[in-house]
């Protein structure tokens, strides 16, 4: 506790506060822009920090990382383009809320939920880091395989409507995940001789194509009289959720926070996965499952909290073990190393002021983000008043720039356009696009882990039941599947209703 | 007629200005920003190295050097783009063992590395080490070999050029070792720390923090030289096993670039790597800043062809 207060003392210096603010502000902006992600931003800014002291540098760069989860929401809610991969799920119900004139409330709930999750996440980082970090070590290839299996079982809850259509989309996602180099032998698969595909289909063109570009297409192909669906909020304090919305958000935010934090701890899992899991859980628990995909506030509040908590969770293995949970924390690790600090189990003994400084800056940064985001909600929502005829091409341009900037590859732009058309057709016929992304993400990790496990065990399948963790996740999978088979009384509804 | 002269002078200047890059490229180079292609995502050790080098080259040449990340294609999309770009001295890129020696045997790359590039210089060398979890009963390379003869042991590592040393070791001693491929270096190290594999062979960048924290025991350096941080730990060669993993990283222009431009850039790399500040920053990443001229770099790569081919053939990865 004393150490944490010492950390606050570090942060409350004017220059450090300024760097923290620059970080979270940039993070919000980058989050809003699709494609341009925290990874690129941090890498570009890294050389600038060479001359700064290490604590300020890390505080600023971390600010970008957790600020992004706030900004990503805005594009998802207002335009149905995932500003970041971790906001893909938000496109489903956040955008539907905006169509019902609840855009302000959606952004408000997302910001408040993010704040809650971010803060709880940081508290967990402060007090639980060392024990949690060693728990991460228990996850080997076999355990990962079983976790991903449980994740795939959750797919049953994510979908609604026709099981056949859902399965079709899962298959499509799994197939997409197989494109690229074989994870072990590195031989190209399903690339059809196209060299660009040998690295696989990137998540960014896939997500922006399926969600963003398909939305532009449906805008363009609608009758003009159907276009005025998005109603901007009339009240001055339009970002305040109604009493019902607030009450319905409490549970999802709390569950999303816990789930997000735990998934964020796992290397390779991270923010994207946590949002899908949270959505699936909320849908199963909800008393209004028929509203999901039609602007259910739970489907927004849960995942938006989960992605922020996951961001905080990823700091645990990074700071305590020097192990990055994803590409962004790997970059932060590089930043530590350039500044001559090796994060790891020794960081608390050797550089307590750095560790606690960064943790304290995350408390402050989350407060800054809330202050930054709430008043701006009104401003962002004004975007909805722009006539669709101007908005649609603008969205298209932003999408394309975003896709190009990820890999500097023109082929990705073509891919995104292709997925845009595919996405439009699938939405038109009531297929659930979220499932494609979910199974694409899970399938790739599942295959790789399963094959690594089998390489270790010499093909002996018993490795998948070799640890208590494996068995626990096998039981979870079985329960999930069994519950799913219990007949549902409610009427099935398509998750993504084609617009009007 | 001052106005006429002025107009003539302006016209001439315009003409020269337009014609200059085409006619006298080498003399005016560099007259605009230079792009440096890195084959991995932002934040990879190679990306950080490229940014450190770019800053130093900028100062020497007086032009901006922009790092462009072209990840994907298992690290071969970048070289493919480099091979297809104009050899005008404004695009250069990262080339290394995978570009020249491993990828062409594993996938259909749209270039012939030996012909498509004009190497500028080698800038760095990755250092590799062989380690076991600190809880392991294995205390030495000798123990590892003996234990593997009783029960097959597994080790984690990311790419074919990392594991050359252990393939050679297995061949020399009859050790029974299985390579488990992991995607990222940090992931490979984590699996060893968690005891899911028996050993790890990875670069210093990823292993150093865990060794320092006492989670991993470094058995030997798998590079030709010892690690500067652990001078008491011998190399595999010093331990009597003729085995080591190569890790040179260099930069190249597309083939056909003006030799004068290439020479000038080679000099800039030499200058960058002689700068103690640059050396310090690259070393902090766990990478050895090591300069070789373009000619020496390509000769070094040629010498590595044979040992790598053995790894690819024996692991079943050679498909082309």
ipTM above 0.85, yes or no: no
pLDDT at B22: 43
Domain residue ranges of chain A, discontinuous segments joined by +:
2-485
Rounded (10°) CA dihedral A161, A162, A166, A168 = -150
B283 vs B270: CA distance, rounded Å = 16
The two three-digit tokens of residue A48, written as one number: 């600038």
The two three-digit tokens of residue B17, written as one number: 């200005």
Q: The domain spanning residue B287 has which CATH number?
A: 3.40.190.150
Among residues A279, A207, A269, the alpha carbon closest in space to that of A433 is found at A207
Q: Are A9 and A51 in contact (CB under 8 A)?
A: no
Categorize the per-residue pLDDT at B19 as very low, low, confident or very high, splitting at 50, 70 and 90.
Answer: very low
Residue A72 has φ and ψ, to the nearest 5°, of -55, -30
The two three-digit tokens of residue B114, written as one number: 């030996």
Instruction: Examine residue B96 and state whether it is found in any structural domain, yes or no.
Output: yes
pLDDT at B9: 52
Task: Dump the DSSP string for A266-301.
Answer: STTTHHHHHHHHHHHHHHHH-S-GGGTTS--SHHHH
Inter-chain residue contact B107 with A198, CB threshold 8 Å: yes
Beta strand spans in A322-446 (E): none
The two three-digit tokens of residue A382, written as one number: 């004004």
Inter-chain residue contact B186 with A458, CB threshold 8 Å: no
- Domain co-membership, B133 together with B97: no
Neighbouring CB atoms inside 10 A of A369's CB total 26
Between B100-109, B266-275, B284-293, B301-310, the lowest mean confidence (pLDDT) is in: B100-109
Inter-chain residue contact B194 with A343, CB threshold 8 Å: no
Categorize the per-residue pLDDT at B20 as very low, low, confident or very high, splitting at 50, 70 and 90.
Answer: very low
Residue B308 has φ and ψ, to the nearest 5°, of -70, -35
Q: Are A331 and A46 in contact (CB under 8 A)?
A: yes
- Domain co-membership, B252 together with B114: yes
The bridge status of strand B248-254 relative to strand B117-126 is: antiparallel
- Which helix or strand (DSSP H or E) is residue A350 part of? helix A347-350
- Domain co-membership, B144 together with B183: yes
- Nearest residue on chain B to A349, judged by CA atoms? B213
Mean pLDDT across the stretch B30-36? 93
Residues of A in Cβ contact (< 8 Å) with B195: 137, 140
- Domain co-membership, B207 together with B263: no
Q: Which residues are CB-contacts of B219 (< 8 A; sequence separation ≥ 6)? A: B129, B130, B131, B132, B138, B139, B140, B141, B144, B199, B233
Cis peptide before B30 (omega within 30 of 0): yes
Instruction: Examine residue B234 and state whether it is found in any structural domain, yes or no.
Output: no
Residues of B in Cβ contact (< 8 Å) with A138: 194
The two three-digit tokens of residue B39, written as one number: 């084959």
Instruction: Examine residue B267 and state whether it is found in any structural domain, yes or no.
Output: yes
Instruction: Examine residue B227 and state whether it is found in any structural domain, yes or no.
Output: no
Q: Are A298 and A20 in contact (CB under 8 A)?
A: no
Name residues 279-318 of chain A within 8 A of B (Cβ). Answer: none
A362 vs A123: CA distance, rounded Å = 10
Inter-chain residue contact B69 with A323, CB threshold 8 Å: no
Query: Does A181 reach chain B within 8 Å, measured CB to CB?
Result: yes
Residue A488 has φ and ψ, to the nearest 5°, of -90, 145
Residue B2 has pLDDT above 70, yes or no: no
Q: Measured between CB atoms, which of B43, B194, B281 is closest to A39? A: B43
Instruction: Examine residue B112 and state whether it is found in any structural domain, yes or no.
Output: yes
- Nearest residue on chain A to B46, judged by CA atoms? A334
**Which of A48, A137, A346 is the mutation pick for testing B, counting most B CBs within 10 A?**
A137
Query: Does B43 reach chain A within 8 Å, measured CB to CB?
Result: yes
A211 vs A88: CA distance, rounded Å = 8
Q: What's the sign of the alpha-carbon dihedral B137, B142, B148, B149?
A: negative
Categorize the per-residue pLDDT at A497 as very low, low, confident or very high, splitting at 50, 70 and 90.
Answer: very low
Query: Does B72 reach chain A within 8 Å, measured CB to CB?
Result: yes
- Domain co-membership, B212 together with B253: no
Bigger pLDDT: B293 or A433?
Answer: B293
A432 vs A283: CA distance, rounded Å = 14
- Domain co-membership, B269 together with B297: yes
Instruction: Examine residue B7 and state whether it is found in any structural domain, yes or no.
Output: no
The residues facing B126 across adjacent strands are B287
- Domain co-membership, B252 together with B288: yes
Residue pLDDT, tens place only, A200-243: 888 888 988 998 888 888 888 876 655 554 555 545 456 677 88
Name residues 190-219 of chain B within 8 A of A (Cβ). Answer: 190-191, 193-197, 205, 208-210, 212-215
Neighbouring CB atoms inside 10 A of A428's CB total 15
Inter-chain residue contact A188 with B108, CB threshold 8 Å: yes
- Domain co-membership, B105 together with B153: no
Residues of A in Cβ contact (< 8 Å) with B42: 39-40, 42-44, 331
- Domain co-membership, B72 together with B208: no
> Taking CA B268 as the corner, what is the angle to CA B252 and CA B109, rounded to the nearest 5 degrees?
10
Minimal CA separation from B263 to chain A, in Å: 27
Query: Does A425 reach chain B within 8 Å, measured CB to CB?
Result: no
Please state, rounded to an integer, the average pLDDT across all residues of chain A. 82
**Which of B73, B152, B154 is the mutation pick for testing A, counting most A CBs within 10 A?**
B73
Inter-chain residue contact B43 with A334, CB threshold 8 Å: yes
B268 vs B54: CA distance, rounded Å = 10
Q: Measured between CB atoms, which of B68, B74, B190 is closest to A198? A: B74
Categorize the per-residue pLDDT at B21 as very low, low, confident or very high, splitting at 50, 70 and 90.
Answer: very low
User: B145-171 burial by CB neighbour count: b if 16+ within 10 A, else e?
Assistant: bebbeeeebbbbbbbbbbbbbbbbbbe
Which of residues B204, B221, B238 is at a domain's end? B221
Q: Are A159 and A172 in contact (CB under 8 A)?
A: no
Residues of B in Cβ contact (< 8 Å) with A328: 43
Categorize the per-residue pLDDT at A68 as very low, low, confident or very high, splitting at 50, 70 and 90.
Answer: confident
Task: Dump the DSSP string for A357-381.
Answer: HHHHHHHHHHHHHHHHHHHHHHHHH
Q: Are A431 and A439 in contact (CB under 8 A)?
A: no
**B284 is in which domain, residue-wise?**
29-124+246-314
- Nearest residue on chain A to B194, judged by CA atoms? A137
A146 vs A150: CA distance, rounded Å = 6
Minimal CA separation from B137 to chain A, in Å: 19
Minimal CA separation from B13 to chain A, in Å: 35
Inter-chain residue contact B191 with A141, CB threshold 8 Å: yes
pLDDT at B15: 45
Minimal CA separation from A61 to chain B, in Å: 12
Categorize the per-residue pLDDT at B7 as very low, low, confident or very high, splitting at 50, 70 and 90.
Answer: low
A344 vs B193: CA distance, rounded Å = 12
Categorize the per-residue pLDDT at A151 as very low, low, confident or very high, splitting at 50, 70 and 90.
Answer: confident
- Domain co-membership, B63 together with B107: yes
Instruction: Examine residue B15 and state whether it is found in any structural domain, yes or no.
Output: no
- Domain co-membership, B117 together with B142: no
A250 vs A302: CA distance, rounded Å = 9
Domain tally, chain B: 2
Residue A408 has pLDDT above 70, yes or no: yes
Query: Does B59 reach chain A within 8 Å, measured CB to CB?
Result: no
B205 vs B47: CA distance, rounded Å = 13
Q: Largest Cα–Cα distance in chain B?
A: 98
Q: The domain spanning residue B147 has which CATH number?
A: 3.40.190.10
The bridge status of strand B153-157 relative to strand B199-203 is: parallel
Residue B252 has φ and ψ, to the nearest 5°, of -145, 155
- Domain co-membership, B208 together with B268: no
Residues of B in Cβ contact (< 8 Å) with A199: 71-74, 77
The residues facing B203 across adjacent strands are B128
Residues of B in Cβ contact (< 8 Å) with A187: 106-107, 317, 319
Which of residues B168, B187, B221 is at a domain's end? B221
The two three-digit tokens of residue B201, written as one number: 């062979």
Residue pLDDT, tens place only, A233-253: 545 456 677 888 888 999 999
Q: Are A379 and A30 in contact (CB under 8 A)?
A: no
Mean pLDDT across the stretch A306-318? 87
């Amino acid at each position: 506790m004393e150490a944490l207060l010492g950390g606050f003392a570090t942060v409350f210096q004017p220059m450090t506060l300024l760097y923290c603010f620059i970080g979270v502000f940039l993070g919000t902006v980058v989050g809003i822009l699709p494609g341009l992600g925290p990874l690129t931003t941090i890498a570009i800014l890294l050389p600038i920090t060479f001359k700064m002291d290490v604590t300020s540098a890390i505080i600023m760069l971390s600010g970008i990382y957790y600020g992004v989860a706030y900004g990503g929401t805005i594009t998802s809610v207002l335009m149905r383009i995932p500003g970041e991969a971790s906001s893909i799920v938000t496109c489903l119900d956040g955008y539907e809320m905006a169509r019902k004139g609840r855009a302000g409330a959606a952004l408000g709930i997302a910001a408040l939920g993010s704040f809650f999750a971010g803060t709880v996440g940081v508290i967990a980082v402060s007090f639980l880091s060392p024990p949690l970090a060693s728990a991460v070590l228990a996850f080997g290839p076999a355990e990962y395989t079983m976790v991903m299996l449980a994740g795939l079982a959750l797919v049953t809850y994510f979908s609604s409507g026709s099981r056949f259509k859902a399965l079709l989309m899962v298959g499509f996602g799994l197939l997409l995940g197989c494109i690229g180099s074989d994870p072990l032998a590195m031989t190209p698969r399903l690339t059809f001789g196209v060299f660009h595909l040998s690295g696989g289909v990137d998540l960014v063109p896939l997500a922006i194509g399926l969600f963003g570009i398909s939305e532009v297409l449906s805008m363009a192909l609608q009758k003009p009289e159907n276009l005025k669906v998005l109603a901007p909020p009339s009240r001055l304090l339009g970002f305040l959720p109604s009493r019902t919305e607030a009450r319905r958000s409490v549970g999802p935010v709390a569950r999303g926070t816990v789930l997000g934090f735990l998934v964020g701890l796992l290397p390779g899992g991270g923010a994207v996965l946590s949002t899908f899991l949270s959505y699936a859980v909320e849908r199963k628990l909800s008393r209004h499952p028929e509203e999901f995909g039609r602007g259910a506030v739970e489907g927004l509040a849960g995942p938006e909290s989960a992605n922020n908590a996951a961001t905080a969770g990823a700091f645990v293995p990074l700071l305590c073990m020097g192990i990055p949970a994803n590409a962004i924390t790997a970059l932060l690790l590089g930043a530590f190393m350039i500044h001559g600090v090796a994060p790891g189990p020794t960081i608390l003994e050797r550089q307590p002021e750095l560790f606690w400084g960064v943790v304290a800056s995350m408390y402050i940064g989350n407060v800054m983000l809330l202050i930054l985001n709430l008043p701006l909600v009104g401003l962002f929502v004004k975007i909805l008043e722009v006539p669709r005829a101007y908005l649609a091409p603008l969205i298209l341009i932003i999408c394309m720039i975003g896709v190009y900037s990820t890999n500097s590859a023109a082929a990705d732009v073509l891919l995104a356009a292709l997925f845009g058309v595919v996405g439009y057709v699938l939405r038109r016929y009531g297929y659930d696009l979220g499932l494609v992304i979910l199974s694409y993400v899970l399938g790739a990790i599942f295959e790789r882990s399963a094959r690594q496990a089998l390489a270790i065990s010499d093909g002996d399948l018993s490795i998948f039941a070799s640890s208590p963790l494996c068995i626990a996740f096998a039981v979870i999978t079985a329960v999930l599947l069994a519950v799913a088979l219990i007949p549902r009384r409610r009427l099935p509804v398509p998750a993504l209703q084609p617009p009007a | 007629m001052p106005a006429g002269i002025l107009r003539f002078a302006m016209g001439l200047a315009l003409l020269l200005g337009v014609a200059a890059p085409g006619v006298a490229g080498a003399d005016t180079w560099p007259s605009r920003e230079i792009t440096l292609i890195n084959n991995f995502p932002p934040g990879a050790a190679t990306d950080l190295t490229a940014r450190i080098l770019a800053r130093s080259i900028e100062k020497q040449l007086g032009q901006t050097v922009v790092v462009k990340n072209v990840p994907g294609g298992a690290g071969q999309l970048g070289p493919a783009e480099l091979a297809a770009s104009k050899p005008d001295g404004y695009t250069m890129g990262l080339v290394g063992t995978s570009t020249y020696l491993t990828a062409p045997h594993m996938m259909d790359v749209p270039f012939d590395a030996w012909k498509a590039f004009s190497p500028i210089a080698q800038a760095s060398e990755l250092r590799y080490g062989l380690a076991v979890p600190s809880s392991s009963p294995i205390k030495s390379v000798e123990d590892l070999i003996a234990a593997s003869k009783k029960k097959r042991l597994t080790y984690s590592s990311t790419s074919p050029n990392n594991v050359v040393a252990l393939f050679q070791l297995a061949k020399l001693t009859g050790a029974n070792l299985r390579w488990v491929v992991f995607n990222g270096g940090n992931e490979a190290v984590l699996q060893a720390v968690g005891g899911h594999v028996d050993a790890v062979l990875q670069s210093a960048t990823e292993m150093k923090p865990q060794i320092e924290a006492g989670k991993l025991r470094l058995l030997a350096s798998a590079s030709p030289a010892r690690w500067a941080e652990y001078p008491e730990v011998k190399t595999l060669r010093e331990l009597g096993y003729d085995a080591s993993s190569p890790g040179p990283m260099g930069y190249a222009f597309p083939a056909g670039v003006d030799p004068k431009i290439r020479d000038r850039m080679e000099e800039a790399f030499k200058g960058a790597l002689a700068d103690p500040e640059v050396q310090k920053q690259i070393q902090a990443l766990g990478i050895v800043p090591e300069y070789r001229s373009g000619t020496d770099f390509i000769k070094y790569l040629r010498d590595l062809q044979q040992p790598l081919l053995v790894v690819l053939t024996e692991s079943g990865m050679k498909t082309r």
